[in-house]
Amino acid sequence: MSEKYSFLPSDYVDKLSIVDTELAIKLVKDTFERVLAENLHLTRVSAPLFVRPESGLNDDLNGVERPVEFDIKSINANVQIVHSLAKWKRQALKRYNFEPGNGLYTDMNAIRRDEDLDNLHSVYVDQWDWEKIITEETRNEEMLKHTVRRIVNALVRTEKVLTDKFSQLKPFICSEVKFITTQELENLYPNLTPKEREDAICKEYKTVFLMKIGGALESGKPHDGRAPDYDDWNLNGDILVWYPVLNRAMEISSMGIRVNQESLDYQLKISGCEERRNLPFHKQLLNGELPLTMGGGIGQSRLCMLMLQKAHIGEVQSSIWPDEMIKECEEKGIILL
C-alpha cells in the first residue's frame, strides 16, 4: 500500500447518490470547460492518445515514469500512450496558426502505470490540457498570476452552479489566491516535508499558487520533480486548494510558462538530459521555430472529486484498485464506480 494512502476519513458521509453523482459529474465538467474556455480564450481541439517515442513529444513528468507502449502492425512501429500533451500542444498552436492571447484546450486521457495508488491518484488520468500563445512582453510572472486568478475564477463559478443545483453541497473554495515560491515555503517550514509544507500553507490561506517548481532549493533538493523541457522552472507552479473532506491540500492544476531557447538550454544541462537536443521537438524549440506559450493540465476526475466533496477519486471515475483499498472503502461506506 502506498505511503500516501493514509487519510480516508472515518466519519465520511457521501452527500450524493450514485445517480446524482453521475449528474453532478456532467454538470461540473460541462460548466468548468465552458467557463475556462471563456476566461482564457481557448478553442477546443482533438488530440492524440499516443505518439511515436522518437518524436520527443511525450511528457516525461518526473523523468522516471515508464510510458505504456504497444506496437501498431500496419506501420511496423511502436508508440507510447501520452503522459500529458505539454509538448504536442505547442506544436499544434503553430500548425493551427493561433494568434497571441488565444489558445486551445483538449481532453487528455493517459495511463500512468507507475502511479502510487491512493484516494487521490489513479492509473487512469483524465484532464483538460490547455495551451495559449504569449509574447516576449507577456512572458512574465504578472501574466502567470493573472492566468491563475482566471482559472480560480472558473473553479468558483463552477462550484456556484453545482451548489445551486445540489443544495446538500456547501461551497468552500476561496477565490483569493495566495502566491508563494517553493523557497519561501521551505523557509517558512524548514522542518516539514514538501507535502507537509503544502498542507500547512494551504490550511492557512485555502487557495494557494505554489511557484517555481523543479529547481533545487537552498536545502539542495527540489520541492518536487519537473521535466526540464516544458515548464520554465522560474515561471511555473501548482494550484492548491484546501480540502476539508480530507483535511489536506489538493493539487488541482500543474501549469506554467513554457521554456524558451535559453531556459531549455539551461534546464537540459543541469538535468543531464542534453541528449534530448537531437529530438525533433527540441530542435524546433532551440532553433526558435515554435511560439512562446503557457499552459497546463487540470484534472477532470480530481476536480469532480473536489467539487462533489468525495473521499476517493474512485467515486467519480472507474479504474483499478488494490484489493486492500477496495475492502477499506467498503468498510467506510465509500462506493467505487
Q: Which residues are catalytic?
A: 59, 112, 127, 238, 251, 254
DSSP E strand stretches across the chain: 42-44, 50-51, 69-72, 77-81, 103-111, 124-133, 178-181, 207-211, 231-243, 248-258, 293-299
> In whole angstroms, what is the distance from residue 159 CA to residue 162 CA?
5
DSSP E strand stretches across 112-176: 124-133
Amino acid symbol at 109? N
Are 272 and 299 in contact, with CB atoms under 8 Å apart? no
User: Could you tell me where the DSSP H helices lie in 2-52?
Assistant: 18-40
What number of other Cβ atoms are within 10 A of residue 173's Cβ?
18
At 325, list the grid cell.
483499498
User: Strand pairing of 293-299 and 248-258?
Assistant: antiparallel
95-98, long-range: CB < 8 A, 24+ apart: 96/45, 98/43, 98/132, 98/133, 98/291
